A and B are shown apart, each in its own frame.
Chain A
Amino acid sequence: MTALKSVLFALTLPALLVAFWYIATSGAKNFFIPTPALLAEKFVSVWFSDRFFSDVLPSLGRLVIGLVSASVLGIAAGLLIGSFRWLRSLTEPVLEFFRAIPPPVLVPILMLLIGVSDLMKVAVIVSACVWPVLLNTVEGVRAVDSVLSESARTYGLSGAARVRYLVLPSASPQIMTGIRQSLSVGLILMVISEMFASSSGLGFTIVQFQRSFAIPEMWSGIVVLGLIGVIMSFIFQWTERKILRWYHGLREVENAA
């Protein structure tokens, strides 16, 4: 009964909006807004075709490679910088500056340095996604509970074991926050890198539709981007709950006490 009710709750508003959209577009023909039926038809015919393999998959591949490299880089550098106080003070202003640069302005620079290629697109994604991960890792490492840290030292944990069993687990909630921030940034940069200089990929295709005034096709592209964003956020939430199960459990216990 409650399950049915929550499904009803979840579906009512979207259904109402689609109904409103249907009614609003059924009468007058609006050039900019297609009817729901036309959009659904275009969505299937445009994206469930060769285009899925020639444009969508390569884009997603670059996004995943970029995100994974940015996470690995960010965590590694963050562990290093976070562990030494002098290194932290040394690098902090420079890192703050790099984080504050709006990442899309790096696209023209990377185009110059690397040239227009897949590598450049991945580099664009990495150069934007690495900062949230890096800075959050530094914060996480810095905030390791000092009692835990002293206990670990007393038990003679050092080097790799210390990182593996003390630093990495304590910093992991912060690291996950950083990765979550970088997901949305990465998706944005994936699209922008393809809008700039490219002859394939999602961003390119959508701009192409817009330039040729293929309005329903353009809208279907926007829907695809939205779906990718939603699916990514669901996958991430699921993974985060798996990885940080101990942490959420701990929080519940602490809050209850």
Chain B
Amino acid sequence: MSSRAAHTVQPDIGNGGADAPARPARGRSLALGPLSKPLLGLVGIAGFLLIWEVCPRAGLVDIRFLPPASEVLGILLADLGLAAFWAAVGETMTAWAVGLVTAVIAAVVLGFVVGSSTFLRTFTYSLVEFMRPIPSVALIPLAVLLFGVKIESSLMLIIYASFWQVFIQVLYGVADVDNVAMQTARSYGLKATARVRHVVFPTALPYLMTGIRLAAAVALILAVTAELVIGSPGLGREIALAQSGGAISSMYALVLACGLLGVAINVAMRWVERKTLAWHSSVRSETVV
């Protein structure tokens, strides 16, 4: 509160005028126009590609091990026209989507049940705290034994890893319910299901969305890992095949494709989060604390 009051009183000395009033410019930074941010970003990408192009060509890195950017981008573009490439992308994304959805459903149901009872929360606390840090890759040998190189292996790792991300967030969210709101709902005679629907769910939703966003990223990591290490079908296996076959440029192109897939997932998740939480103050961004 006090810091906000100080802002409004304080005269505007040396603050960049180009910024929106809500965000005072920091320090003696250059006054940037609204357009220059994406422009600088593009310059950054171009610079990165340029360095990648020059380093192997100038002989700083062995060109056999790091092909120049133009060559890799060319192969990536050619890949985009191949059915096999899209099949691999489809397999990775299927494992990702099925695993994520299963994990989210399980985590939401269990999270709401466990979170709404103090007894269950303390009862399961030690087990949850013990299970959560177990790295999902520890399950790789088990997955291989049980399922071999099928999609189920990927699913097992994905579900295990993403479940905890969402579950913990739902627990926090349910615990965060405002007591006054809950008592009010109770005295207005709202039934248990209505209380969950109108009080608990809206409180937990921002936490849940954060959990899903984190889980989406983790699920992609685990999907690719399973394909890479176990050999279940998808982009990861293509990378392993390209590497062992000595097709270095196409390996880089596939890695690039994985990164772009990751960016797409991040962007999509942030968009979904903004849409579903459009009513929430953290997104409306008009109330400043």
Question: Closest B-chain residue to A92, C-beta based?
Answer: B41
Structural contact, A92 and B44, CB atoms closer than 8 A: yes
Q: Is B271 an interface residue (CB 8 A)?
A: no
Kindly provide the distance from the CB of A178 to the nearest chain B CB, expressed in whole angstroms.
Answer: 13
Overall SS of chain A's interface: helix
B215-229 contact mask (Cβ, 8 Å, vs A): 1 or 0: 001001101110011
A195-212 contact mask (Cβ, 8 Å, vs B): 1 or 0: 110000001001101100
Kindly provide the distance from the CB of A233 to the nearest chain B CB, expressed in whole angstroms.
Answer: 4
Q: Which of B43, B221, B236 has the most chain A CB atoms closer than 10 A to its own CB?
A: B221
Please, which residues of chain B bring their CB within 8 A of the CB of A196? 229
Q: Which A residues from 180 to 238 make CB contacts under 8 A with B?
A: 184, 187-188, 191-192, 195-196, 203, 206-207, 209-210, 215, 218-219, 221-222, 225-226, 229-230, 232-233
Q: Which of B36, B137, B229 has the most chain A CB atoms closer than 10 A to its own CB?
A: B137
Q: Give the number of residue pairs across the A-B interface with Cβ within 8 Å.
A: 185
| Contact residue among B45, B127, B252, B265 (Cβ-Cβ distance under 8 Å from A17) | B127
Q: Is B103 an interface residue (CB 8 A)?
A: no
Please, which residues of chain B bring their CB within 8 A of the CB of A108? 228, 239-240, 243, 251
When A89-B40, A108-B243 are in contact, do A222 and B141 touch as well, CB less than 8 Å? yes
Q: How many residues of B contact A (CB 8 A)?
A: 71
| Contact residue among A96, A149, A191, A195 (Cβ-Cβ distance under 8 Å from B27) | A149
Cα A222 to Cα B127 in complex, Å, equals 16
Structural contact, A103 and B122, CB atoms closer than 8 A: no
Kindly provide the distance from the CB of B210 to the nearest chain A CB, expressed in whole angstroms.
Answer: 13
Chain-A contact segment, one of B81-89, B178-186, B254-262, B272-280 = B254-262
Q: Is A72 an interface residue (CB 8 A)?
A: no
Please, which residues of chain B bring their CB within 8 A of the CB of A232? 133
Contact-residue bracket for chain A: 35 or more
When A89-B37, A102-B224, A196-B229 are in contact, do A210 and B141 touch as well, CB less than 8 Å? yes
Q: Is B193 an interface residue (CB 8 A)?
A: no
| Contact residue among A14, A84, A149 (Cβ-Cβ distance under 8 Å from B127) | A14
When A107-B228, A191-B137, A192-B137 are in contact, do A112 and B259 touch as well, CB less than 8 Å? no
Cα A111 to Cα B240 in complex, Å, equals 12
Kindly provide the distance from the CB of B62 to the nearest chain A CB, expressed in whole angstroms.
Answer: 8
Structural contact, A90 and B40, CB atoms closer than 8 A: yes
Q: Is A147 an interface residue (CB 8 A)?
A: yes
Structural contact, B26 and A149, CB atoms closer than 8 A: yes
Structural contact, A6 and B243, CB atoms closer than 8 A: no
When A90-B40, A100-B259, A210-B145 are in contact, do A229 and B45 touch as well, CB less than 8 Å? no
Please, which residues of chain B bring their CB within 8 A of the CB of A218? 141-142, 145
When A90-B43, A102-B262 are in contact, do A229 and B134 touch as well, CB less than 8 Å? yes
A66-90 contact mask (Cβ, 8 Å, vs B): 1 or 0: 0000000000000000011110011
Structural contact, A85 and B61, CB atoms closer than 8 A: no
Question: Closest B-chain residue to A100, C-beta based?
Answer: B262
| Contact residue among B26, B61, B135, B221 (Cβ-Cβ distance under 8 Å from A102) | B221
Structural contact, B266 and A96, CB atoms closer than 8 A: yes
Q: Is A49 an interface residue (CB 8 A)?
A: no
When A32-B145, A229-B133 are in contact, do A146 and B24 touch as well, CB less than 8 Å? yes
Question: Closest B-chain residue to A219, C-beta based?
Answer: B142
Q: Which B residues from 129 to 181 make CB contacts under 8 A with A?
A: 129-130, 132-142, 144-146
Q: Is B263 an interface residue (CB 8 A)?
A: yes
Cα A219 to Cα B37 in complex, Å, equals 52
Cα A210 to Cα B146 in complex, Å, equals 11
Kindly provide the distance from the CB of A222 to the nearest chain B CB, expressed in whole angstroms.
Answer: 5
| Contact residue among B36, B141, B224 (Cβ-Cβ distance under 8 Å from A104) | B224
Q: Which B residues from 197 to 253 make CB contacts under 8 A with A?
A: 217, 220-221, 223-225, 228-229, 236, 239-240, 243, 248, 251-252
Q: Which of B37, B141, B265 has the most chain A CB atoms closer than 10 A to its own CB?
A: B141
| Contact residue among A92, A153, A191 (Cβ-Cβ distance under 8 Å from B135) | A191
Q: Is A37 an interface residue (CB 8 A)?
A: no
Question: Closest B-chain residue to A112, C-beta based?
Answer: B65
Please, which residues of chain B bring their CB within 8 A of the CB of A188? 135-137, 221, 225
Kindly provide the distance from the CB of A56 to the nearest chain B CB, expressed in whole angstroms.
Answer: 14
Q: Is A98 an interface residue (CB 8 A)?
A: yes
Please, which residues of chain B bring their CB within 8 A of the CB of A96? 263, 266
Please, which residues of chain B bring their CB within 8 A of the CB of A10? 125-126
8 closest A-B pairs by CB: A100-B262, A210-B141, A229-B133, A89-B40, A10-B126, A225-B138, A101-B259, A226-B134
> Residues of A with Cβ closer than 8 Å to B?
6, 9-14, 17, 32, 83-86, 89-94, 96-109, 111-113, 142, 144-147, 149-150, 153, 184, 187-188, 191-192, 195-196, 203, 206-207, 209-210, 215, 218-219, 221-222, 225-226, 229-230, 232-233
Given contacts A90-B47, A113-B65, A188-B135, 14 further A-B contacts (CB under 8 A): A9-B123, A85-B32, A104-B225, A105-B228, A107-B228, A109-B255, A113-B61, A191-B138, A195-B229, A210-B144, A222-B142, A226-B130, A232-B133, A233-B133
